Structure 1
């Protein structure tokens, strides 16, 4: 398992796409491939990705206020040490100064004083419910979550380099696949004409899932466990989300998916417009919750 280089991984993905979709469409899908990292709990023989971890205190620059939604402090879900991920990301990296990314979501804890409905919080995918706050590792200090934010115990993780495509093997495929040139292949089929991305899902889906599982340990990193946790690349989507709203000029960008510590098979995708990530404008981040 694993690749000698990103070029090797890209070549394998292209061969797979062309085999199942033909040269015209397969080359387009393969060109969408993005580097990413599967996130795994540290175990004997592995080292954490720098300061990366799920849970624990935030790592914030001095003077950074703790984020809130409607006056309720958000919970720290993870700290992502981007520099420690190494060169695999290449051009997919966030701005140079954003070396640590603190990932927050609104999870008020009744055991720490939250009373349901006081205040009444927005819906789960409202942008106010989440926050990504960058920090400088040379300046950042540990900051504990104020009540009633839920506190997740710290768990360091290591990162496995992988290659990703827009989801084509889930209940709802990634809407990015609707934007491809199908060269007439969807004509005459109401099924494909209204939702052309299903053509990719039907022809490539099972083969891509097998490639992810067997060649990358992605999403299923052993025989039993589903692991959605991933940094960057394309997220593994099971449900339908309004990603078109974040993709007016170019496809949205994915920062992290977090399932560790969420319980009940739930996980969250943190995404934002591509231009926002390039400029470090994390205020446009949205978190889409789903479960398996």
Structure 2
């Protein structure tokens, strides 16, 4: 990965971009001969400690999108992991078939931290809790996790603003576009090559005939659009695209770095990618 960065960006810039790398996991549906990542799965009932209230947004129960078994992922994350072993991932996704009334429903703030919730649980104590109406119910599907190396996203409508933190020296002076948005230099010179490397060498985003699979835990997420919330540093927890979120839509769940380290999931926000 470092060799690829240096080849296309030079030693000065390439070394800095390579230093941004973070470990992550590509998430894939379990198949014969490959066990699930512990209790990890998309959908199904939540796994909550007894007495934990079901999360809501504006009085509407959230939907359980995934359960992430952090301990089952092993040592690949090193120190780059949150402090809790089991995480329930919720998102606002009510179902009209379960009694949600669209007509007259108030406008929702997609950028509100309450639009999603991350609720930790103790694997030794957690019990299954079914989603109350009108939250959507997604069929449970276990996943397995493939260790990968990730870089800030360099594809799509906009690159990850983390790339603006790199010292590009004088290489941005020849382009007005690079001077105003220096991260475009890395995206232009490395973006396509990095995506090809991810697909070919890591099976990340595309694998075994699957056209595009954004599902990923930790590392840097694959961003297709720009998000104002990412002007400050952030940490990525999970990206979920396995549910029916519209025409190719998926959701990134991110936190501020300190909140990630401390397990303060109240500060988590969801970034929705829709097409």
TM-score category (smaller protein): over 0.9
**Structure 2 partner of 1:18:** 6
Whole-angstrom distance in 1 between the partners of 2:121 and 2:107: 27
Matched-pair contact (CA < 8 Å) for 1:272–1:285: yes
**What is the Cα deviation at residue 116 of structure 1?**
1.3
Could you list the runs of 5+ residues in structure 2 that have no partner in the other structure? none
**Structure 2 partner of 1:199:** 185
**Structure 2 partner of 1:282:** 265
**Structure 2 partner of 1:176:** 162
1:268 aligns with 2:251: yes
Q: Which runs of 4+ in 1 moved over 3 A?
A: none
Matched-pair contact (CA < 8 Å) for 1:70–1:119: no
Whole-angstrom distance in 2 between the partners of 1:126 and 1:65: 20
- RMSD of aligned residue pairs (Cα, Å): 1.2
SS at match of 1:90: coil
Match among 80, 83, 86 for residue 92 of structure 1: 80
Whole-angstrom distance in 2 between the partners of 1:222 and 1:170: 23
**What is the Cα deviation at residue 117 of structure 1?**
5.1
Matched-pair contact (CA < 8 Å) for 1:169–1:208: no
User: Normalising to structure 1: TM-score of the pair?
Assistant: 0.91
**Structure 2 partner of 1:257:** 239
Match among 50, 53, 65 for residue 38 of structure 2: 50
Matched-pair contact (CA < 8 Å) for 1:169–1:206: yes
Aligned pairs for 1:216-235 within 5 A: 216-235=202-221
Cα deviation digits, residues 167-221 of structure 1 (max 9, x gap): 0122210000011111121114211011100000000011101100000010011
SS at match of 1:92: coil
Matched-pair contact (CA < 8 Å) for 1:167–1:237: yes
SS at match of 1:214: helix
**Structure 2 partner of 1:3:** none
SS at match of 2:200: helix
Whole-angstrom distance in 2 between the partners of 1:239 and 1:16: 24
Matched-pair contact (CA < 8 Å) for 1:47–1:158: yes
Whole-angstrom distance in 1 between the partners of 2:103 and 2:125: 37
**Structure 1 partner of 2:194:** 208
**Structure 1 partner of 2:171:** 185
1:63 aligns with 2:45: no
SS at match of 1:19: helix
Could you list the runs of 5+ residues in structure 1 that have no partner in the other structure? 1-12
